[in-house]
Amino acid sequence: MPSTDSPRRLVITDIERISRFRRAGYGGNVSDALWKCGVTDTVLSADFRPLRQGMRLAGRALPIKLHSLAEQDLTPEEVAAQEARWQAAGGHPQKQMMRTVAEREDGTVLCFDAGGDRQPAHFGEMSCQLAYAHGCRGMLLAGNCRDTEYVLRMDDFPVYSFGTRPNAFGGWIITDVNRPIYLPGHLTHYVRVTPGDFVFGDNDGVQVIPERYVDEVLLQVEETFDKENDERAAIAAGMSVDEVYRTFGVL
Q: For residue 73, name the pLDDT band (cuts at 50, 70, 90).
A: confident
The predicted-structure confidence for 172-207, as pLDDT tens digits, reads as follows: 888 889 999 999 999 999 999 999 999 999 999 999
CATH number, domain containing residue 216: 3.50.30.40
Instruction: Tell me, yes or no, whether 8 lies in a domain.
Output: no
The whole domain housing 78 covers 14-248
In this predicted structure, what is the pLDDT of residue 71?
60
Comparing 248 with 82, the larger pLDDT belongs to 248
Residue 1 located in a structural domain: no
**CA-wise closest residue to 207 among 28, 8, 65:** 28
| Structural domain contains residue 108 | yes
Centre a 10 Å sphere on the Cβ of residue 187 and count the other Cβ atoms it contains: 11
**Residue 5 domain-assigned (yes or no):** no
Number of independent structural domains in the chain: 1
Whether 134 is covered by a domain: the verdict is yes
Calpha distance 18→27 (Å, rounded): 14
Mean pLDDT over 32-61 rounds to 96
Q: What three-state secondary structure class fits 164?
A: strand
Task: Note the helical H segments in 122-202.
Answer: 125-133, 148-151
Separation between Cα atoms, residue 30 and residue 17, nearest integer Å: 13
Closest among 96, 174, 159 to 125, alpha carbons compared? 159
Q: Over the stretch 104-117, which tens digit does the pLDDT of each residue have? A: 999 999 999 998 88
pLDDT digits (tens, 9 = 90+) for 119-152: 888 999 999 999 999 999 999 999 999 999 999 9
pTM of structure: 0.89
Which comes out higher in pLDDT, residue 30 or 82?
30
The average confidence (pLDDT) of the chain is 91
Q: Is residue 4 situated within a structural domain?
A: no
